[in-house]
Amino acid sequence: MIHLNVRTAYSLLQSTIRLEQYVLQMTERGSRSVAIADDAFYGVPTFLSYCQRYEVKPLIGLRTVLRLDGLDVSVIVYSSNETELKEQYRIIQAGGIEGRTTMPLVVLPENWKASDPVHRRRLYHQLLSFVDEEKLWLGLPAPQTTEQVQVLKQLRLMREELAVQLIPAPETRYMRPEDVEGFRAISAIREGEVMSNEDVRQKGLHVRLPSEMNDWFTTEELTELDRFEALIRLEHLPRAEGAIPELPDADQKLKRLVGERLKSMELLKEPYIERAKFELEVIAKTGFSSYFLIVEDIVRFARESGIEVGPGRGSAAGSLVSFALHITEVDPVRYGLLFERFLNPERVSMPDIDLDFEDERREEVVSYVLSKYGHTHAAQIGTLATFGAKAAMRDVARALGMTLEEGQAASKQVKAGGLDELMSSPKQMKWFAGSQKRQQLLRIAKQLEGLPRQSSVHAAGVVLSRQPIEEVTPLQPELEEHVTQYNMKDLEEVGLLKIDLLGLRNLSRLRKMEDLIRESDALFSLKTIPLNDARTYRLLARGETDGIFQFESTGMKQALRQVKPTEFEDIVVTMSLYRPGPMQFIETYAKRKHGMPYQPVHPDVEDVMKPTYGVLVYQEQVMRLLRKLGGYSYAEADLVRRAIAKKDTGTIARERERFLQQAKAGDQDVLAQIFSWIEKFAGYGFNRSHAVAYSLISYRLAYVKAHFPRVFHVVTSDKTTELVRLLRKDQIPVYPPDVLHGHADATLEGPGVRLGLKAVQGLTKRDVDRLIELNGQLKDVRTLQETMEWKNKDQLKLRRLLGAGALDRMYHGDRTRAFEAVERLREEAGTHFLPDELSSLGLKQKKVKEPNWSEEEREALGTWVVHSPLTALPDIGIEPSTIEEVMNGTNGYLVVYVDDVRTFMTKKQERMGVLMVDDGMTQDEVVVFPRTFAQFGRSLYAGNILLLEVHSNERDGRKQLIVERVRPLHGQALFIRLTLDRFPELEDWIQRAQGDVPVVCRFTDSKEVKQLASAFSINPNEEYVAEAKRRFGEENVVLKRIDTKMVGPETSTKS
């Protein structure tokens, strides 16, 4: 018995029915057919595949509306053949039925007055103007509520009055009665509300048992289901007439274009001519000439528009035709790349040319493709986001009315294995055992995990079609651009060919770098830089690859230090081997490269493996070995490689026997050993075509870093702190932002780099854009404030600009003058009198003390640029190291600023600490163990400047710095004037402000001056000092720098 009105999870957030579970259950009940009625066709290909697997007939219904004189009547239309399925596609895009249809149509009496006989009669006759009477049914609801019982009664009256066809169509939204909880949750998520247990309309919407259907409907009505089923004859999706639009005379055009391009590159010679002929023959035979011409057109548009295009991606870089058309930049003959790895004449499959463009301009390329090939033949590929385990937890928690914190706490219980792993872990389940609501949360989240949640657009995919695209795939309704409802895999199944237009951030970076370099060298081009540049290889060999595509990880840096690249091939090999599996052979490759001898197992193996010192790295090497030793063609060898990668044991066994039979004369044991070796390592082999193309991107970035470090850092550093650190490391001057001639981003200036206005924290994008508009027009802070229309509440923005140094040039480099001007504005905002009026009244403006500029800069920029506390220190008699140097070595001395201190107790109840410190170039943590903490703890507070003796230590695979000794370098002392009787009060204050700054007391009644013992040293933060000034008088408390030879806290005597 079929159910016609079944919404699955592909009616997004309207059902919890999973397709395979549904089809399997209906099959087990003995149903010959299974029907769905979703409002979108995302799940149709999957539904058909399950029906085929379980050998049942599919009925594809579309839930939509029929537009009838201002009334939208809910209906389900079923396609009985491929032509009607295409009509369903058009209805989806249109959002409803507006004209006559030949499809079987079931009307759902959801929003029309079934109780009014006049209305019923008029509506029915209007429906007959859209569909023939024998194709029109009125759907009967399940009589589970009073309202539904009444509707059912009225519909049966209509059959007596008008001889209408009635068919059971109870609403179905979940599999079992107990699944109502999940349905209520998903409905609440859709509406953004809290779940309600009161709505009776949500009950009883499960897949009904035959007994329930027999109780509700008459034999005549149930028999109508069988008659309806007999009308449907559709079992598969219509295939595309062609994978891509067919261009006229494509074979000859492609051949002519390849010849012209090879000639222009001075490559119209052997072996290029023979290789080009072979590739063109295969391309023509497989019918993909138009595809290559279309891709060439897309790439040509991008290049002519100044959009950076990647040097190649995937196996397409192995094609000489791709190289000749400038689709790729990799010469496959020079680099020994194989066309058959890309397009195998023995296994005709769609070629896959993926294109990389700079990410900031990718949309321009997508728009060009959609406009060039028209809305009728091109679309972006749609995709579905599903409920992940963590997201399901958070969404369901909201639907249950739980707090945000509870939802986040629940999601934190989920690990990589999802909810199955969580539910099998007693430790993780303890959190949920705490309350019934948490158990309900987990139960519902499990129901929703993996269900489709929302539709979106594939990050890269575009699909082209020879026929109108709406005949091959349904399109998303109500979108300006065309987006398919079928996903990438489904589109390939119906015969369409996708083109991936990917956005790559590193291409945007390369384009920006090239533009900056051309400001001083107009003819510079990254396409023509030498691939044997010694400075670039030295940089790579040192592992200084932060910001370099593919080589940024710690492990990759270590691999580069092992290999010590001296040529481009070393980069390609390192990138290819740095993956799980072959990673173990990096050391072997490095040692052999640097002289370690090795014994080849066979002379022909050595011919193929010599460039990689006997290490099997590439898939192409597997193909060459099979050809050289076993007599395979490259096309046949690629099929063997694929079988090994897929672990196809039957094919592998047959090919082993064939290899040994066809192999050249030789030791059969050795040859068997070689095939076993190939079988073992072929699964690890990397696509050399892709590796060469992507290594070009990495090499170009490394070249810029080696030769133009300013340019490299400005383009690749997203954070101001990171940029300043890198520039300081390379000893490049850093200048503060500037409101007079500012830019949003950092720019080159003189020998250094000037930070952009975006670096100033607290400024909005609108502020930055407006300041750039005012370049050169501002003369002082008053005009700045007035022009920007900043009010009193915006005073902090002025203070941030001041602290960042952005006002320095406005006041000829005198930050004190800039500070005084800002203070005048602040004071005027707090009084009704102008400065002249204050003078005439005999009143003086209160002079405000200049702030600590290093703290102001750090507040404004997150780092120091001009006023670093680490640069104003006296000579300490030791050459300090940097954090990075100690990390890469063993021990050393660091001069650091303490950002943060975390303390905690060990198991032995001893206090230890972890300090976040800044050496002016790097921020990192240092560990202070209990013994050192007990000795130097008074100096360990945020804001202090310390000399640390440290050594590096490795723990859990990560290096950390251990502090051995501490010496404060702040060079300050606190001077307090007070009477002897107030000393106990001073002691009380010091106990709450403990630190390492010495305290010097001048007792006014005894005229005695004493430096207090180290136990009475204080932490000089503003809050503590301000409290002391309130207690003892502002004029009696002074914090100032002193002679560094003054007795410090470690050696001071008792008072």
Query: pLDDT category, 163, cuts 50, 70, 90?
Result: confident
Cα 687 from Cα 337, distance rounded (Å): 9
Nearest to 283 by CA among 251, 256, 307, 306: 251
- Nearest-10 crossing angle of helices 795-804, 781-788: 130
Residue found under tokens 């397009």: 343
Query: In the Cβ-directed half-sphere of 151, how many Cα atoms lie within 13 Å?
Result: 22
Sign, CA dihedral 323-328-330-336, equals negative
Q: What is the pLDDT of residues 26-82, one digit of tens each?
A: 999 999 999 999 999 999 999 999 999 999 999 999 999 998 877 888 999 999 999
Q: What is the pLDDT of residues 937-994, one digit of tens each?
A: 888 988 888 999 999 888 777 788 999 999 888 788 899 999 999 999 999 899 888 8
Omega within 30 of 0 (cis) for the link into 104: no
State the burial class of residue 590 (Cβ atoms within 10 Å of its Cβ: 0-12, 13-18, 19+). buried
Cα 860 from Cα 849, distance rounded (Å): 19
Residue found under tokens 């696509």: 687
Stronger pLDDT, 622 or 273, i.e. the higher one: 273
Query: pLDDT category, 1044, cuts 50, 70, 90?
Result: very low
Cα 817 from Cα 282, distance rounded (Å): 76
424 alpha-carbon distance from chain centroid: 30
Q: What is the pLDDT of residue 388?
A: 92
Per-residue DSSP letter, 174: B
Residue found under tokens 């999601």: 411
CA angle 357, 358, 361 (to 5 degrees): 95
Q: CA dihedral in degrees (1015, 1017, 1019, 1023; nearest 10)?
A: 110
Residue found under tokens 């897949």: 207
Q: How many CB atoms lie within 10 A of CB 745?
A: 14
Whether the predicted pLDDT of 198 surpasses 80: no
Nearest to 74 by CA among 159, 148, 171, 162: 171
Please check whether the two domains, 384-456 and 883-968, share a CATH topology: no
User: Quick one: tokens of 578?
Assistant: 């740095």
Contact 408, 441 (CB under 8 A): no
The CATH superfamily holding the domain 19-172+207-230 is Metal-dependent hydrolases (3.20.20.140)
Whether the predicted pLDDT of 833 surpasses 80: no
CATH number of the domain located at residue range(s) 883-968 in this protein? 2.40.50.140
Domain ranges of the chain: 19-172+207-230, 250-383+457-506, 384-456, 717-861, 883-968, 972-1041
pLDDT > 70 in the chain, percent = 96
Q: What is the mean pLDDT of residues 502-516?
A: 95
User: Quick one: tokens of 320?
Assistant: 């000489």
Q: What is the pLDDT of residue 869?
A: 82
Contact 1039, 970 (CB under 8 A): no
Output the CA–CA distances (angstroms, integers) from residue 910 to 906, 913, 916, 932, 1015, in the order listed: 5, 10, 20, 11, 20
Q: CA dihedral in degrees (1046, 1049, 1051, 1054; nearest 10)?
A: 100
Nearest to 290 by CA among 502, 497, 501: 497
Cα 369 from Cα 301, distance rounded (Å): 10
Q: What is the pLDDT of residue 1055?
A: 30
Contact 109, 155 (CB under 8 A): yes
Contact 254, 320 (CB under 8 A): no
Q: What is the pLDDT of residues 573-600, one digit of tens each?
A: 999 999 887 888 899 999 999 999 988 8
Cα 525 from Cα 85, distance rounded (Å): 53
Strand partners, 749: 752
88 alpha-carbon distance from chain centroid: 36
Average pLDDT of the chain, as a whole number: 88
Q: What is the pLDDT of residue 834?
A: 54
* Helix or strand holding residue 186 (H, E): helix 180-191
Q: What is the pLDDT of residue 1050?
A: 39
State the burial class of residue 847 (Cβ atoms within 10 Å of its Cβ: 0-12, 13-18, 19+). exposed
Cα 917 from Cα 407, distance rounded (Å): 34
Contact 705, 698 (CB under 8 A): no
Q: What is the pLDDT of residue 382?
A: 92
Whether the predicted pLDDT of 879 surpasses 90: no
Q: What is the pLDDT of residue 964?
A: 93
- Strands 136-140 and 355-358, by their bridges, are unpaired
User: Quick one: tokens of 229?
Assistant: 């089923």
Q: What is the mean pLDDT of residues 642-652?
A: 84
Per-residue DSSP letter, 486: S
What is residue 493's three-state secondary structure?
helix
- pTM surpassing 0.85? no
Residue found under tokens 């050399």: 688
Cα 94 from Cα 101, distance rounded (Å): 14
Query: pLDDT category, 1006, cuts 50, 70, 90?
Result: confident
- Strands 891-905 and 355-358, by their bridges, are unpaired
Alpha helices by DSSP H, 244-388: 250-264, 272-286, 289-304, 320-324, 362-372
Whether the predicted pLDDT of 1028 surpasses 70: yes
Q: What is the pLDDT of residues 308-365, one digit of tens each?
A: 999 999 999 999 999 999 999 999 999 999 998 888 887 767 778 899 999 999 999 9
Torsion angles phi and psi, residue 402, rounded to 5: -80, 160
Topology classification of domain 384-456: Arc Repressor Mutant, subunit A (1.10.10)
Per-residue DSSP letters for 770-806? HHHHTTTT--SHHHHHHHHT--GGGHHHHHHHHHHTT
User: Quick one: tokens of 267?
Assistant: 């490559």
Whether the predicted pLDDT of 1048 surpasses 50: no
Q: What is the pLDDT of residues 750-798, one digit of tens each?
A: 999 999 999 999 999 999 999 998 888 888 888 888 888 888 888 888 9
Q: What is the pLDDT of residues 465-501, one digit of tens each?
A: 888 888 999 999 877 778 999 999 999 888 888 888 9
Q: What is the mean pLDDT of residues 906-912?
A: 92
Query: pLDDT category, 112, cuts 50, 70, 90?
Result: low
Cα 221 from Cα 76, distance rounded (Å): 18
